[in-house]
Amino acid sequence: MFALLVLVAAAGVVCGPLFGGEGPVVTTGDGALRGALGPVAHVASFKGIPFAAPPVGELRWREPQPVQPWRGIRDATGFGPSSIQRMHGDYLPWTREFLAQGEVSEDCLYLNVWAPRAEGRASLPVVVFIHGGAFLEGSGDVPVYDGTRLAAKGLVVVTLNYRLGVLGFFSHPELTAESPHHASGNYGLMDQIAALRWVRGNIAAFGGDPARVTVWGQSAGAASVGALLSSPLARGLFQRAMADSGLGAGGRPVRDLGAAERLGAAFAASHKAASLKDLRALPAAEFVGSNGFGLVVDGWVLPETPDAINLGGGGSDVPVITGTQKDDGPLAHPKLGSIEAYGDFVQRTFGAQAARFMQLYPASDAGAIQGALKDAGRDRERVASFLWATAREATHRSRAYTYYFVRAIPWPQHPEFGAFHTGEIPYFFGNLGLLDRPWEPVDRELSGTASGYLERFAENGDPNGQDLPKWPAANAATRLTQQIGEDTRAIAVADPGKYAFWAEQLRPGREAKAGN
Contact call for residues 130 and 224 (beta carbons, < 8 A):
yes
Show pLDDT as tens, one digit a residue, over the chain (516 residues).
333 333 333 333 334 455 555 789 999 999 999 999 988 778 999 999 999 999 999 999 999 999 999 999 999 999 999 999 988 878 889 999 999 988 999 999 999 999 997 555 679 999 999 999 999 999 999 999 999 999 999 999 999 999 999 999 999 999 999 999 999 999 999 999 999 999 999 999 999 999 999 999 999 999 999 999 999 999 999 999 999 997 998 878 899 999 999 999 999 999 999 999 999 999 998 888 777 899 999 999 999 999 999 999 999 999 999 999 999 876 677 888 899 999 999 999 999 999 999 999 999 998 899 999 999 999 999 999 999 999 999 999 999 999 999 999 999 999 989 999 999 999 999 999 999 999 999 999 999 999 999 999 999 999 999 899 999 999 999 999 999 999 999 999 999 999 999 999 997 443 433 333
Contact call for residues 131 and 453 (beta carbons, < 8 A):
no
Report which secondary-structure segment, H or E, holds 484.
strand 480-484
Rounded-to-5 percentages of helix, strand, coil across the chain: 40, 15, 45
Own/partner contacts of 361-366, CB < 8 Å, gap of 24 or more, are: 363/339, 365/339, 366/336, 366/337, 366/338, 366/339, 366/342
Contact call for residues 311 and 391 (beta carbons, < 8 A):
yes
Which are the contacts of 455, defined by CB distance < 8 A and separation ≥ 6? 125, 150, 153, 154, 155
Q: Coil, strand or helix: which one is 496?
A: helix
DSSP per position, 131-172: --STTTS--TT-GGG--HHHHHTT-EEEEE----HHHHH---
Residue 99: Cβ-neighbour burial (10 angstroms; 0-12, 13-18, 19+): buried
Contact call for residues 463 and 471 (beta carbons, < 8 A):
yes
399 CA to centre of own chain: 20
The two beta strands, 32-34 and 25-27, are antiparallel
310 CA to centre of own chain: 17
